[in-house]
Amino acid sequence: MNQPTVRRASAAWTLVITSLAGFMAALDNLVVTTALPSIRADLGGELADLEWTVSAYTLTFAVLLMFGAALGDRFGRRRLFMAGLAIFTVASAAAALAPGIDALIAARALQGVGGAVMMPLTLTLLTAAVPPARRGAMLGIFSAVTGLAVASGPLVGGALTEHLSWQWIFWLNVPVGLVLLPLARLRLTESYAPNARLDFPGTLLVSGGFFGIVYALINGQADGWTSAPILTGLIGGTVLLLAFVRHGIVGKNPMLPMRLFRDRAFAGINISSTLMFLGMFGATFLLSQFLQGVLGYSPTEAGLRMLPWTGMPLLVAPFAGYLSDRIGGRPIVATGLALQAVGLALFALVLEPGVSYAAQLPGLIISGVGMALFFAPAASVVMSSVRPGEQGMASGANNALREVGGALGVAVLGAVFAAQGGYATPRMFVDGIVPALWIGSAAVAVAAGAALLIPARRKAAVAEVADVEEEREPVTV
């Protein structure tokens, strides 16, 4: 077999392996949402426990994401990819076998650790294996597979929960992981980044800070907002995050240099991303339970009814990407966020214990279109806002802040829901979810305003330099 054929085969195998791994990690962001009522019925637990079932994954995934990428750069991307995949697979089995809600939360946190190591290295491995001329097509396929995971998450979770059991949303990962591990060892090429450095202080500060704040928000209603654990979490978490910001300013080789936020595009898109995920994840967490617990839909029916929202990016994103190339990312991102805010507001206006699906449909569709308009140009805005050598760091920071926004969204909107309503009756559930949705809509509306910080056009020179830099091959063995 000649050399070009070998390279094409290697690139194809890398695409298959990384896409399947990315699919698993992305699927686990939302697959659990439609299973929450069944998990609550089987394992028990209060609202705070359900919130941790979601947030334990998103939070550990978020705060360790950049550290996981740095580990791969330092010790070998294939080696760490396999380690992350192994952790994710074992944690999935542990979640399926969990005898109680606390064990499930611990397994979900371990899943997040594995995903944080595995997920950022999928793109790095794929970029290293594919020639620059074919990279766009390969990354497009990878993004489509990841998008499909996000879109199908509630539906897959609902179908498995209804027709098998909620445990199968986790068992699904195990055979995939066991197949991918030997394939990764045999088919992926090892690669490193020269002079890669690890930021242990930054990782500890940001992990402790966000954990303290999310813990306080989730448990505040039950423990009392003025209780010692809650005040400790809020104050201690804030202090640690401020220390993280200072570390990013004065530290040597910080994981997230604060100087990046001097750029209006980088600051605007990251503020927008965090607030958008806050509203979207928090709303999805509550709406999936509303569809089943209040309206009486089965898990599969609930997943299907959420498709106009979660699945819309598959239809609209290509058009949004084309449009952003023509007129710039700022108007597309801002419009998408504004539509998402309107969609959540429409939900808040119509939700009642007996609301019809037809009344919900406008909110679902408008929210879905808005999410699609945001996703397509957001990555391009992030990558064009920094120098080529900092694009990996910028992408990791943006993904991490999105996940942090998701964890905060579940915590904040869950706290509003708990303060205003509860699970006792359909009326109480509606009394809780409506103000929570208004908070989510307001957060996304602020995100739309933050998007206006993005300059109307990035200089063409930035893109040209990025193209030149992209052709430099990483160190491989």
- pLDDT tens readout for residues 317-333: 667 666 766 777 788 88
- At 400, is the pLDDT very low, low, confident or very high (cuts 50, 70, 90)? confident
Question: Which ranges in 224-311 belong to alpha helices (H)?
Answer: 228-250, 264-289, 299-305, 307-310
Closest CA to 431 of 444, 412, 415, 418: 418
Rounded to an integer, the average pLDDT of 238-249 is: 91
Q: What are phi and psi of 191, to 5 degrees?
A: -150, 155
Q: What is the pLDDT of residue 265?
A: 84
Rounded to an integer, the average pLDDT of 365-378 is: 81
Question: Can you list the positions of beta strands (E) in 158-249?
Answer: 191-192
Q: Report the alpha-carbon distance of residue 223 to residue 220 in Å, rounded.
A: 5
8-state DSSP, 294:
I
Q: Report the alpha-carbon distance of residue 54 to residue 217 in Å, rounded.
A: 14
Rounded to an integer, the average pLDDT of 362-390 is: 77
Which residues on neighbouring strands pair with residue 192, listed in sequence order? 475
DSSP 3-state of 311: coil
Checking phi first, is residue 189 left (phi over 0); if not, alpha (psi -120 to 50) or beta?
beta
Q: Report the alpha-carbon distance of residue 276 to residue 263 in Å, rounded.
A: 20
- At 438, is the pLDDT very low, low, confident or very high (cuts 50, 70, 90)? very high
Q: Report the alpha-carbon distance of residue 113 to residue 56 in Å, rounded.
A: 10
Residues 6+ apart with CB under 8 A from 7: 131
Q: Which two tokens stand for residue 247?
A: 């570390």
- At 471, is the pLDDT very low, low, confident or very high (cuts 50, 70, 90)? very low
- At 134, is the pLDDT very low, low, confident or very high (cuts 50, 70, 90)? low
Closest CA to 378 of 241, 232, 240, 280: 280
Q: Which two tokens stand for residue 429?
A: 């559930």
Q: Which two tokens stand for residue 220?
A: 């505040």
- At 392, is the pLDDT very low, low, confident or very high (cuts 50, 70, 90)? low
Q: What percent of the chain has pLDDT over 90?
A: 18
Q: What percent of the chain has pLDDT over 70?
A: 85
Whether 290 contacts 348, CB under 8 Å = no
Closest CA to 273 of 381, 182, 174, 177: 381
Rounded to an integer, the average pLDDT of 383-411 is: 74
Q: What is the pLDDT of residue 465?
A: 41
